[in-house]
Structure 1
Amino acid sequence: MTNELSKRIIDLRESKNWTQTQLAEKMGLSKSTMSKIESGYRKITTDELKLLAEIFGVSTDYLLGITPPVSSAQLAPFDIHDLLDSNVQILYNDQGFLSKTDRSYINDLLAVYFSHKEDDK
């Protein structure tokens, strides 16, 4: 029987269109272990919980069901420039964390993109 944690893991995994095997690989677990976690037959360790939160970009409180899901209507806009300039580690799919140089490059690309977008108006 699944609990709130299991349900949220499944929902997040499916929102990324990942299989259990893909998520298990990202976590360094076997598919069998991932299946047991999602079905509620295996407890998750603190380190695994933290890693899941990092992989999905959510809080551990959200995974544990302490905080409710955030609807798109509740999301406040943010400036991507602030995110790229922050000290937050940004994980890009399964490619790893973006370095400071990567983030600077992305920021420059976005600046060029939006400058050309203004020209189209």
Structure 2
Amino acid sequence: MTFGEKLYKLRKEKGLSQEALAEKLHTSRQAISKWENGQGYPETEKLIMLGNIFGVSMDYLLKDTVEPSNDKEAGYYVNKEMAEGYLMSAHKISKYMALGFFLIALSTIPYFIFKQDPAMYMIPTIIFATIGIGMFVTVSFLEEDQYKVLKTESLLFDEKYLNELTIRYENLEKKHRVINLVGMCLFVAGLIALGINRKYITSDFLVPYYPLCIGAIAIGIYIIVRTSNLLDAYKLLAKNEVHTNSFGFKIRRKVRKKVDDI
């Protein structure tokens, strides 16, 4: 079976038109047609992408074998466009998630300002909490299915782009280390101030400052959640071997393999 025949067979089994496959490969329908008619071969990057799309090995695509091999131990190839799209998505998700935690933390402030009058603090508390929860719901819509595979497979990159990603991750880590420290300090300072007043100070000396303490906690949470999620996204790509060598990843992979076998 020739490469063109295999490509045609795989495309039909997947239920893809030539236009749909061309869109996934970022090429033209005419190119797909030429490959299927034996008038040429795609470049290496496109071959790897075809293997990812159809779940077959490069050997199956290029050699004169009939049975496809589903051996994907080598990894899932990620091109620059997909990686950058995932990082843009991670920026949005980290922002909305951090805002959700921030607003929920802030929703407790009206109580301390208007605690003598429930009618005054209930409405703003509900508003802040509802918007905060809405942020979490938004995150579920922002997570795109096409990027889920990045968390479940060993990833392969163009060497030049991987070096670029690694440098960006290391620079971001240095920058966010300081920002994250500020967030931790604000969070801990707010908690300590609340805890000390409740446990060790009998007077209400710090009570008027509770809104400020909670504000510090909320800002700290925002910074920590935002920076941590963003760094995790970069680390998933730039330091993928750390992710794939983790105990949790290996367990998840074994479970998926057993489910596939069943």
TM-score range, shorter chain: 0.5 to 0.7
User: 1:80 aligns to what?
Assistant: none
Change (3 A) 1:21 1:7: same
Find out whether 1:97 has 2:95 as its counterpart: no
Q: Where in structure 2 are the equivalents of 1:61-76 lying within 5 Å?
A: 61-70=59-68
The runs of 4+ residues in structure 1 deviating greater than 2 Å are 65-68
What is the CA–CA distance in structure 2 between the aligned matches of 1:28 and 1:95, rounded to whole Å?
18
The structure 1 residue matched to 2:33, chosen from 21, 32, 35, is 35
Instruction: Look up the equivalent residue of 1:46 and give its one-letter code.
Output: T
User: 1:51 aligns to what?
Assistant: 49
| Cα deviations by residue, 1:6-46 (Å, 9 ceiling, x for unpaired) | 00000000001110111111000111111111111122211
User: 2:58 aligns to what?
Assistant: 60
What is the CA–CA distance in structure 2 between the aligned matches of 1:63 and 1:40, rounded to whole Å?
13
What is the CA–CA distance in structure 1 between the aligned matches of 2:57 and 2:36, rounded to whole Å?
18
What is the CA–CA distance in structure 2 between the aligned matches of 1:49 and 1:9, rounded to whole Å?
10
Change (3 A) 1:70 1:5: closer
What is the CA–CA distance in structure 1 between the aligned matches of 2:27 and 2:147, rounded to whole Å?
20
- Unaligned 5+ segments in structure 2 are 77-143, 153-248, 253-262
| Cα deviations by residue, 1:94-116 (Å, 9 ceiling, x for unpaired) | 94131539xx9xx8xxxxxxxxx
Is the partner of 1:97 in helix, strand or coil? Answer: helix
User: 1:14 aligns to what?
Assistant: 12
Instruction: Look up the equivalent residue of 1:47 and give its one-letter code.
Output: E
What is the CA–CA distance in structure 2 between the aligned matches of 1:28 and 1:42, rounded to whole Å?
17
Instruction: Look up the equivalent residue of 1:54 and give its one-letter code.
Output: N
Higher helix share: 2
What is the CA–CA distance in structure 2 between the aligned matches of 1:96 and 1:50, rounded to whole Å?
16
Q: Once the two structures are aligned, what percentage of the paired residues are identical?
A: 35
RMSD, matched Cα: 3.5
What is the CA–CA distance in structure 1 between the aligned matches of 2:53 and 2:146, rounded to whole Å?
10
Is the partner of 1:69 in helix, strand or coil? Answer: coil
- Unaligned 5+ segments in structure 1 are 76-85, 108-121
What is the CA–CA distance in structure 2 between the aligned matches of 1:53 and 1:70, rounded to whole Å?
10
User: 1:119 aligns to what?
Assistant: none
1:64 Cα shift? 1.3
Change (3 A) 1:19 1:47: same
TM-score (normalizing by structure 2): 0.28
